[in-house]
Structure 1
């Protein structure tokens, strides 16, 4: 099971992208904020977290770490749980911070070791 499936409970949609171009508008007809862009450019309340999980799946150096979870609060990617090493933590922070719409990465709820 990969990151995306474990965290969101379903497989990745066809043509899912980590940084798609926004398509359409949000619920009120406004341009989609970067943190709400879904896997195919549609509006998605959890779009940033889903795209981060997809990016973790796409990185061959990261196995699914079943003790780490991804969430979002606005443009902040929130990581929760534990990772086996500081190197892995730095890697996931770097990947998460590189996703369009991510303004910061919160690791306050992550333990190492």
Structure 2
């Protein structure tokens, strides 16, 4: 199961999860880590996967970036949230290198000003 499906119950069209019968997940059309906002007045951290206003837009785009990174497997005990422009990681990761890669990936998503890892346990 991918990050987007596990955390938000969303899937991209054509993904393995979207093709599974009865997955119950919502298919997000035109999902992108860097969508064009539907309106000019949407703050970068509130832009959703398809450019719409979304209170959790940054977190969803970070999760999608994790899914799209072939070096990041789904860490089933880690969760992603946001407070404003800060991405908050909570839970457990397998090792420090994985956490460092996640922080780097999250910081590369438009709208992310910081990544809080204070609630992550390594090991």
Q: TM-score, normalised by structure 1?
A: 0.92
Q: Distance in 2 between matches of 1:21 and 1:14?
A: 13
> Does 1 or 2 have the higher relative contact order (CA < 8 Å, sep 6+)?
1
Matched, 1:19 2:29: no
- Paired residue for 2:58? 48
Structure 1 segments, 4+ long, off by >6 Å, are: none
Matched, 1:4 2:4: yes
Pick one of 77, 93, 108 that aligns with 2:103: 93
Alignment gaps of 5+ in structure 1: 26-30
Q: Distance in 2 between matches of 1:46 and 1:111?
A: 23
C-alpha RMSD of the superposition: 0.9
- CA shift digits 1:2-60 (9 cap, x unpaired): 000000123231220001121126xxxxx000000001111111000000000000001
Pick one of 56, 75, 88 that aligns with 1:78: 88
Q: TM-score, normalised by structure 2?
A: 0.85
Alignment gaps of 5+ in structure 2: 13-27
Q: Distance in 2 between matches of 1:10 and 1:98?
A: 21
Aligned residues: 108
Q: Distance in 1 between matches of 2:115 and 2:50?
A: 23
